Amino acid sequence: MGNQSVWSSLIILLSVFLCFFSTRSATVENYDYPYLWDQVPGSIEDLLVKDDQIIMDPWDYRDRLSMYKLIINHSAKYFTQFGIKNTGNAFWALTIFYGKLYETGRCDDPSNDLVNKIPEKENFVLTKTGWGGINYYVVIPFFLSALKLNFFGPLPYQIELLPQEERRSDFCYSFDECNASYPQMMAIDLKIFEYLQSREKTSNNAKNPTYNTDMETIINYIWSGHQTGVDVGKPLFYDKSQYFSAGEKYFTETFLTTVEFLEAANYPSDFKNASDILLGFPHRRLTTGDWLIPGLDFDKYEKVLLTAVKIISGINSISGGAFLYIWKMAMMSETARKDAPVLIKIMFDFPEFIPVDIN
């Protein structure tokens, strides 16, 4: 395909993103940290020790969130120059998204809408939920790769992940186990932390030293690790019964397709940009009817996001995947990669282009 086709596709997609973000007027002061963020450990010393081992349950929302927090905190020094209070950290997008999944009920048992209201199940991520399973293969390999490289420094005790017997064969709970089943995924995740560990100081400021971290490089590595994890996890959770409804399953598939476009553009994954893109993430799971016509309880941000992911995924489907291919080819240009995120940010100041019925 010629350059004209490539750039025509790029303009179309940017127009859709324009609609995606046009209703945003939030400021960073309005953004929230993930649910229970201040209550989970963010250092190795604060983790639970039992029988001379640090035990972490990846199916406990709090323990899985703590894995994200450990990565965020221990990588903070590499992002000092990109934002105050670690807001420039490139791991925020995956962390905030995990919080959204839990808060919106997407980590609950799809067969029991009240499961998270049962005390013994509170704060747990169910193994039979599609979103929770896919997310497992994003954060757990990241965490295990960081452990493998001693990214968190010397450990007072060995860290063990507590397996669930349900669907045990669908998941890996150690670096060696994951590496045996998914060597390509683990190689990509190792690369993230190897890159950070290879950074050199560019400032010897005792309080806030800086490192020669190239933001475009680390964002690319993180998005690559995310997509590889999704590619591993998604086939395990294809059945619609794991998404509560056909509408939620369609939304999952279209949203993940849309994220691939963002990944190809190397969309900034810091705290503010991640919060911006997730502002319209639906506050609850979708029914089949919601997918056709969003319910009355969906706000304008949610309706715009739902419409945008339908359009992007729809065009890609009709084109047999050519739309995403063209977009990826366009993003091979350094100029295009630099311009795309900037244009997306500018879109906040434009009027809406997607007509949505605001009830």
- What pLDDT does 3 receive? 46
* Beta pairing partners, 54: 49, 159
pLDDT beneath 50: ranges in the chain: 1-4, 22-28, 114-120, 346-359
C-beta separation of 281 from 104 below 8 A: yes
Q: What is the pLDDT of residues 233-261, one digit of tens each?
A: 998 887 766 777 889 999 999 999 989 98
Lookup result for tokens 């994951």: 178
Lookup result for tokens 């366009």: 330
Q: In sequence order, which ranges of 119-203 are alpha helices (DSSP H)?
A: 130-148, 175-181, 183-197
- What pLDDT does 65 receive? 98
Q: How far is the first Cα of the chain from the last one, in angstroms, to the nearest whole number?
A: 43
- What pLDDT does 16 receive? 59
**Chain Cα centroid distance, residue 321:** 22
- The Cα–Cα gap between 277 and 15 comes to 15
